[in-house]
């Protein structure tokens, strides 16, 4: 069992979702202490993960704690790389079709 006062915490963030062994959904919560900078991870069971995450962020904001924003599933650098490669390939194909040069 772990206990801490709100004033002893620096951060409370929902960091990921989980599935418990019995099949129920859960939200993984990250708590960071101010003094020792130790991190604790807990799984909170829920029926609505989106509402639970929003509730956790609201509670953290009410107590003046930091929260991390969820990371996008794919990095922006990867997305831009794919978009530029696609644009380059289309440009080469269109120039080839216009007989500017031959492949």
What would the pLDDT profile of 23-39 be if each residue is shown by its tens digit? 999 999 998 888 877 88
Q: Distance (Å, rounded) from C-alpha 79 to C-alpha 102?
A: 29
- pLDDT band at residue 86 using 50, 70 and 90 as cut-offs: very high
Angstrom distance (rounded) from CA 17 to CA 25: 7
Residue 102 has pLDDT above 90, yes or no: no
Contact assessment for residue 45 and residue 25, using Cβ atoms and an 8 Å cutoff = yes
Q: How remote is the C-alpha of 40 from its chain's centroid? A: 18
Q: Check if the beta carbon of residue 40 is closer than 8 Å to that of residue 19.
A: no
Q: Quick one: pLDDT at residue 72?
A: 66
Q: pTM for the whole thing?
A: 0.61
Q: CA-to-CA distance for 27 and 55, rounded, in angstroms?
A: 12
Specify the pLDDT at position 82: 95
pLDDT, tens digit (0-9, with 9 covering 90-100), for 33-63? 888 778 889 999 999 999 999 999 999 999 9
Cβ-based neighbour number of residue 12 at 10 Å: 20
């Amino acid at each position: 069992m772990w206990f801490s006062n709100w004033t002893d915490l620096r951060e409370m963030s929902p960091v990921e979702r989980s599935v418990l062994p019995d099949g129920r959904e859960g939200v993984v919560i990250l708590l960071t202490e101010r003094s020792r900078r130790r991190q604790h991870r807990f799984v909170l069971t829920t029926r609505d993960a989106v509402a639970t995450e929003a509730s956790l962020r609201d509670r953290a904001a009410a107590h003046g704690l930091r929260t991390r924003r969820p990371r996008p599933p794919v990095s922006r650098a990867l997305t831009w790389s794919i978009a530029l490669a696609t644009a380059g390939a289309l440009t080469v194909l269109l120039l080839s079709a216009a007989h500017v040069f031959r492949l």
